[in-house]
Amino acid sequence: MATEYGQGYGRRDRTGFGWAGGEEPARRHVLPAGLRAPFEGRTWREFGYLMLSLPISIVMFTFAVTMLSLGAGLLITFLGIPVLAVALAGCRGLGALERTRARALLRLDVADPEPLRRPEPLRPHERSGALSWVTALLRSGASWRHLVYAIVHFPWAVFAFSVALSFWTYGWAMLTYPLWQWVFPMYVGVGGIQLYGDGTHSVYLDNPFEITVTALVGLLITLATPWILRALTTVDRLLVSGLLGPSRLATRVVELESDRGVVVDTAAADLRRIERDLHDGAQARLVNLAMDLGLAKEKLAQDPEAAARMVDEAHGEVKTALQELRDLARGIHPAVLTDRGLDAALSAVASRCTVPVRVEVDLPSRPAPAIEGIAYFTVSELLQNISKHARATRAVVDVWRVDDRLLLQVADDGVGGAAVAKGSGLAGLAERLDAVDGILVVDSPPGGPTRVTAELPWRG
């Protein structure tokens, strides 16, 4: 059975747990999509959007062209630059209106563009003035994209308005023609040619066959209109998202800043965990060991047997402290991962799980060390969750490569109900994967089974 997740990579299910397949099937409608499309709210919203586009685009086009022409003409004076800045500011305001309209009628959620970045004042404590505002507007790529939208959208709005209104009115008019054809005056004519008092004539459909054919043609146009509207609004969606939203570079910068924050927070949390483990574990044991050895040294001459017992206890403390230090070092970065790769490292982790785990690693080569470490800790944390919460009887770890992506899947036959809730361990794991352009997908219906799939860049 093929499964899909992440960016669409599939893999044959070898877990044997009988996955249900994820989302619930959509509710079935009595009418097929083609017949109910003319009456759906989406069709009417898109038609309203296209009807509003023409008057709004006229305002935007007139404002943009007038202000741009005026500013360009005044560039020979000092007034041209401020006029251009006002034009860009006005286009940004109209762009905000367009994003709101697209959000309300097209259900297209476009983020606001990057804010204006005013240049830093030359002197400390100096306030930014109008000049910095003008400079920020002229340097902003988003402002110029708004201006381009105001100019480019006008001819498209005229075309889309004409096409949408023509199909909409002709379709419904012809479909409902049998209901209103009686409004035409009934003059006597020959062969369907109606003669009027002024000598003019027109064709009048007055027999059942002609009326039926007209209604059928109107039905076809009406059924095709929703799909024509969707095609037209697809262009509007591209224009709004491409010109009125944040640029790809700005979006990527925001993502990288967010990822950097996640990485810094994760590193700080790991350092705090290591410090806490050292302070509460190995350090405390070593302090007790030093005290016990001091007491044993004092008793060595007076009570050799008691001193020997204390030394024996201290020996046990040394073994425990060494084991804790070994576990701590393995938690930082296991040596087996560096020496032998994911296959051996994951097998070692699986051997410490409370349920039987089958590990299958199918990798042609080793990924980048950082990605390998993240994959290791991801599987380790998921197996810990299985040991603590899943109440499972068996689990499977599967790791493979597809193109330039490393995929791993941890499955169990436990009680299910796992979710990426805010503040949970899975949420923190998802944030850590997202910091390196990874994806975490959790499929865990109540009652089980559970399947957690992680996708990481290869970068090897």
**Do the domain assignments include residue 193?**
no
List C-alpha distances in Å: 144 to 97, 245, 349.
Answer: 16, 12, 55
Strand order in the sheet with 450-457: 357-362, 395-402, 405-412, 450-457, 439-443
Residues 67 and 159 in one domain: yes
Residues 236 and 300 in one domain: no
Residue 159's CB is within 10 A of a number of other CB atoms, namely 13
pLDDT band at 137 (very low <50, low <70, confident <90, very high): confident
Residues 87 and 210 in one domain: yes
Q: What is the pTM (predicted TM-score) of this model?
A: 0.56
Is residue 230 within 8 A of residue 37, CB to CB? The reply is: no
pLDDT at residue 227, as a whole number: 94
Q: Where are the alpha helices (DSSP H) in 193-303?
A: 208-239, 248-277, 283-299
Query: 293, 309, 332 — which closes off a domain?
Result: 332
Domain membership of residue 276 as a residue range: 250-332
Residues 166 and 280 in one domain: no
List C-alpha distances in Å: 315 to 29, 310, 318, 340.
Answer: 74, 9, 5, 32
Residues 85 and 146 in one domain: yes
pLDDT band at 160 (very low <50, low <70, confident <90, very high): very high
Q: Is the pLDDT of residue 360 over 60?
A: yes
Residues 237 and 93 in one domain: yes
Residues 254 and 168 in one domain: no
CATH number for the domain that contains residue 270:
1.20.5
pLDDT at residue 196, as a whole number: 45
Residues 40 and 92 in one domain: yes
Q: How many CA atoms lie within 13 A of 352 on its CB side?
A: 13
**Do the domain assignments include residue 98?**
yes
Residues 233 and 272 in one domain: no
Residues 321 and 419 in one domain: no
Name the one residue in this structure whose structure tokens are 């806490």. 276
pLDDT at residue 283, as a whole number: 65
Question: What does the pLDDT average to over 17-46?
Answer: 69
Percentage of residues in the chain having pLDDT higher than 90? 20
Is residue 432 within 8 A of residue 405, CB to CB? The reply is: no
The mean predicted confidence, pLDDT, of the chain is 76
Query: 301, 332, 363 — which closes off a domain?
Result: 332
Residues 298 and 385 in one domain: no
Residues 301 and 375 in one domain: no
